[in-house]
C-alpha cells in the first residue's frame, strides 16, 4: 500500500521537530558545553586539588555549623547564592565573606534561565551582583545557572559581559538514593572525584540535612587522600 504524500510530509516534519527538541534539550542541560562564552565544569590538574561549591542560600539556620566545619578543616569554599536569599539574610552573606569564602551568582530568583527575555536575564544577574558587593565580597563573581540549564539568551549575556559560567562534575545530592545518608554522599564523591573536580552540594535547607552532615566527613576523607580543597579562583588559576 502506498503511503499518502501528505502523511510522509507530516511524518518527516514531526521527526525533524523531535530531533530539534532533543538537540535543544541536550544543549540546555549540558554541564560541559554552552553556545557562547566560557563554561567550566572541571579543571585539568596534575596535582590533587579540588573545589567545593555550595548552591542556594544563604540562610541563618545551618550557617554556624557550616562555617565551623570549614574552619576546622582550614577550607575556603565557593557559595553560589541567590539574590532573594541574600536580601533576606545579608548578615549571613557578610559572615561568609568575613570567613574568607567566595560568593558566586546563582541568579536572584533561582528560576530556569531558558526562554527568558534579555531584560529578565540582566535583572536576575545584575541585582544579585549588587547584593554580593553589598555583602563585602571584592573578588571575581562567577556564575552558575539554576539547575544547570542555559540555551541562547543567558550564554549570550554572559559572553558579552566576559563572565565565566561554572557547573560541576560531581553532584552527589542530586541523586535521591545517594542523598539519603551522609555516608552515601561521601562514598559517591570519593568514587568520582579527581584532580580538578568541582563538587556541588546543597546544605542550606532542612530537606538537605544529609548534605550538611556530609561536609565534615567528606573533607576528612578528601584530605586523608591527599586532596587540597580550594576556592574556585585558585582552582582556575586566577
Q: Distance of alpha carbon 100 from its chain centroid, rounded? A: 19
Q: Looking at the structure, do residues 81 and 112 belong to the same domain, yes or no? A: yes
Q: What is the distance between the alpha carbons of residues 129 and 146, in angstroms, rounded to a whole number?
A: 15
φ/ψ of residue 4, rounded to 5 = -55, 145
Q: Looking up cell 541563618, which residue turns up?
A: 60
If you count them, how many residues does the chain have?
A: 238
Residue 188 among the catalytic residues: no
Q: Looking at the structure, do residues 69 and 186 belong to the same domain, yes or no? A: yes
Number of domains in the chain: 2
Q: Looking at the structure, do residues 10 and 112 belong to the same domain, yes or no? A: no
| C-alpha cell, 129 | 551582583
Contact between residue 182 and residue 159 where contact means Cβ atoms under 8 Å apart:
no
Q: Is the pLDDT of residue 12 over 50?
A: no
Contact between residue 178 and residue 200 where contact means Cβ atoms under 8 Å apart:
no
Instruction: Supply the pLDDT for residue 7.
Output: 43
* 27-86 per-position pLDDT tens digit: 778 888 898 899 999 999 999 999 999 999 999 999 999 999 999 999 999 999 999 999
Residue 173 among the catalytic residues: no
Q: Looking at the structure, do residues 131 and 23 belong to the same domain, yes or no? A: no
Q: Looking at the structure, do residues 14 and 107 belong to the same domain, yes or no? A: no
Please state at what angle helix 90-98 crosses helix 63-72, rounded to 10 degrees: 10
Point out the catalytic residue in the list 55, 56, 129, 169: 55
Point out the catalytic residue in the list 42, 73, 188, 202: 202
Q: For residue 8, give its domain range.
A: 1-30
Q: Looking at the structure, do residues 54 and 152 belong to the same domain, yes or no? A: yes
C-alpha torsion 172→178→181→186, nearest 10:
-40
Q: Looking at the structure, do residues 4 and 46 belong to the same domain, yes or no? A: no
Q: Looking at the structure, do residues 48 and 5 belong to the same domain, yes or no? A: no
Instruction: Supply the pLDDT for residue 166.
Output: 98
Distance set, CA 11 to CA 49, 91, 155 (Å): 51, 58, 33
Contact between residue 166 and residue 198 where contact means Cβ atoms under 8 Å apart:
yes
Instruction: Supply the pLDDT for residue 26.
Output: 77
Q: Looking at the structure, do residues 2 and 50 belong to the same domain, yes or no? A: no
Contact between residue 43 and residue 224 where contact means Cβ atoms under 8 Å apart:
no
Strands (E), 167-209: 198-201
Strands (E), the chain: 38-40, 49-55, 78-81, 102-105, 164-166, 198-201, 228-230
pTM of this structure: 0.89
Q: What is the CATH number of the domain that holds 68?
A: 3.20.20.370
Q: What is the distance between the alpha carbons of residues 192 and 184, in angstroms, rounded to a whole number?
A: 13
* 122-170 per-position pLDDT tens digit: 999 999 999 999 999 999 999 999 999 998 999 999 999 999 999 999 9
Q: Looking at the structure, do residues 25 and 86 belong to the same domain, yes or no? A: no
Q: Looking at the structure, do residues 134 and 231 belong to the same domain, yes or no? A: yes
| Closest to 131 (Cα-Cα) out of 78, 67, 60, 81 | 81
- In this structure, how many other beta carbons lie within 10 angstroms of the beta carbon of residue 131? 22
Q: Looking at the structure, do residues 75 and 172 belong to the same domain, yes or no? A: yes
Amino acid at each position: 500500500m502506498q503511503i499518502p504524500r501528505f502523511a510522509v510530509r507530516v511524518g518527516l516534519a514531526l521527526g525533524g521537530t523531535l530531533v530539534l527538541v532533543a538537540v535543544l534539550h541536550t544543549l540546555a542541560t549540558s554541564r560541559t558545553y554552552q553556545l557562547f562564552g566560557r563554561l567550566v565544569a572541571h579543571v585539568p590538574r596534575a596535582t590533587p586539588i579540588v573545589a567545593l561549591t555550595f548552591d542556594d542560600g544563604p540562610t541563618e539556620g545551618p550557617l554556624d555549623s557550616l562555617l565551623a566545619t570549614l574552619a576546622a578543616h582550614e577550607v575556603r569554599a565557593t557559595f553560589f547564592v541567590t539574590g532573594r536569599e541574600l536580601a533576606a539574610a545579608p548578615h549571613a552573606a557578610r559572615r561568609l565573606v568575613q570567613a574568607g569564602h567566595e560568593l558566586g551568582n546563582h541568579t536572584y530568583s533561582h528560576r530556569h534561565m531558558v526562554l527568558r527575555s534579555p531584560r529578565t536575564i540582566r535583572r536576575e544577574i545584575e541585582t544579585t551582583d549588587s547584593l554580593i558587593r553589598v555583602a563585602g565580597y571584592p573578588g571575581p563573581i562567577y556564575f552558575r545557572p539554576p539547575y544547570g540549564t542555559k540555551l541562547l539568551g543567558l550564554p549570550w549575556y554572559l559572553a558579552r559581559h566576559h563572565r565565566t559560567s561554572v557547573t560541576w562534575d560531581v553532584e552527589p545530592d542530586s541523586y535521591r538514593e545517594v542523598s539519603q545518608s551522609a555516608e552515601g554522599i561521601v562514598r559517591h564523591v570519593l568514587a568520582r572525584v579527581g584532580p580538578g573536580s568541582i563538587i556541588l552540594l546543597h546544605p542550606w535547607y532542612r530537606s538537605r540535612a544529609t548534605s550538611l552532615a556530609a561536609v565534615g566527613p567528606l573533607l576528612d576523607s578528601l584530605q586523608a587522600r591527599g586532596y587540597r580543597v580550594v576556592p574556585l579562583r585558585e582552582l582556575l588559576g586566577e
